[in-house]
Amino acid sequence: MFDINQSTLVLYKRLVEKYGKEIINDLIKTGIESKSEIEFGNILRYYFGRKNVKKQFLLENKYYDFILFNCILIEFDGDYWHDKENHKLNDIIKNKIAKKHNYILLRLKWSERKNINFLVELKKIIDEIQIKTNIQNTEN
């Protein structure tokens, strides 16, 4: 597109050298998020704290849209893309990977993104995890 005569890897290395790995990786991650996904991420950060919400979590070469408290994965599924067969297969694979690594995986459809019930259910799950963690910590 820009008539650059370098491989993607070389270009990435040059950008990292000039701007730093964290900045370039954040730009790459942001570039693959929709506006609605970014807005939803901001809502998650507002309710659950910036440090408890990370975006674009990589697990077995698959990116998950968000991870909360290092134990809950959230996939923000766009209605258009996730109705396609290849995306359905990818979703099944991601579900299996999450389960294999003992993550809780929640899926939110784009059309349901403004439904407060998702956040209410998410809060209940987080509270249950925190209660279990506190019980386990007092037993040890």
CATH 3.40.960.10 boundaries in the chain: 34-139
Over residues 125-130, mean pLDDT: 90
Residue owning tokens 């990292």: 16
**Do residues 68 and 125 make contact, with C-beta atoms less than 8 angstroms apart?**
no
- Indicate if the pLDDT at residue 91 is higher than 70: yes
**Do residues 75 and 105 make contact, with C-beta atoms less than 8 angstroms apart?**
yes
pLDDT 10s digits, 49-78: 999 999 889 999 898 999 999 999 999 887
The Cβ-side half-sphere exposure at 64, using a 13 Å CA radius, reads 29
pLDDT 10s digits, 5-55: 667 777 778 888 888 887 777 666 655 567 778 888 889 999 999 999 998
CATH code 3.40.50.10090 for 34-139 = no
What pTM does this model have?
0.69
CA distances for 30 relative to 22, 24, 38, angstroms? 12, 10, 8
**CB-based contacts of 6, cutoff 8 Å, min separation 6:** 14
What is residue 45's predicted lDDT score, i.e. its pLDDT? 92
